[in-house]
């Protein structure tokens, strides 16, 4: 990598770190206009894909946390203009690939077919910028940033106390902590 290219990438990274929280807050403050423009089928597909990544267990899954809305708003309002079509094309291509493999839409597939399809998708898309990695990252981020994820999947403490160095941890029932919300 040339020094000039490295400096450009560093400046872009530092600038995006400074701007990203403000863009994210603005985008998530009022998601209604973005979601109103989104095709219902796209949101339904995102909901099923996200819920396959983080399904309902003893806590609600990604669909209950409305992760599909989070993903749509982040992609539309926060992704750079050249990245938006790459993500949406990746979603459409994944759907076409699922139809070719299973003879039906991802939404209509069984849980086993969805899991098998995602394993194939993950094996094929090892690139860091792949649709699969973006979808997985957005799903996890959206879920654990949601009220459901922060309060039911994680152990939410609205007023964290002092550090307890010898606190007993039960591996079967102690959840991770979160300062979100």
What pLDDT shows up at residue 181?
A: 40
What are the sequence ranges of the domains in the chain? 7-158+165-178
How many other C-beta atoms are found inside a 10 Å radius of the C-beta of residue 69? 21
Mean pLDDT, the chain, integer: 84
What pLDDT shows up at residue 91?
A: 97
* pTM (predicted TM-score): 0.75
DSSP assignment, residue 175?
Answer: P
What pLDDT shows up at residue 22?
A: 62
Render pLDDT for 107-151 as a digit per residue (tens, 0 to 9).
999 999 999 999 999 998 877 678 999 999 999 999 998 999 988
The pLDDT confidence band at residue 72, using thresholds 50, 70 and 90, is: very high
> Are the C-beta atoms of residues 89 and 75 closer than 8 Å to each other?
no
């Amino acid at each position: 990598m040339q020094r000039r290219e490295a400096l450009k990438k560093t400046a872009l990274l530092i600038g995006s770190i400074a701007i990203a929280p403000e863009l994210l807050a603005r985008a998530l403050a009022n998601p209604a206009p973005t979601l109103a423009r989104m095709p219902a089928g796209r949101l339904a597909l995102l909901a099923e894909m996200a819920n396959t990544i983080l399904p309902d267990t003893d806590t609600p899954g990604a669909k209950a946390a409305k992760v599909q809305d989070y993903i749509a708003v982040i992609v539309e309002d926060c992704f750079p203009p050249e990245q938006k079509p790459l993500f949406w094309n990746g979603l459409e291509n994944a759907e076409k690939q699922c139809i070719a493999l299973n003879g039906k839409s991802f939404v209509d597939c069984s849980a086993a077919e969805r899991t098998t399809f995602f394993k194939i998708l993950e094996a094929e898309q090892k690139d860091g910028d792949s649709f699969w990695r973006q979808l997985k990252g957005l799903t996890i981020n959206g879920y654990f940033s949601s009220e459901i994820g922060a309060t039911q999947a994680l152990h939410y403490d609205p007023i964290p106390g002092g550090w307890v160095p010898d606190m007993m941890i039960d591996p079967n029932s102690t959840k991770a902590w979160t300062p979100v919300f």
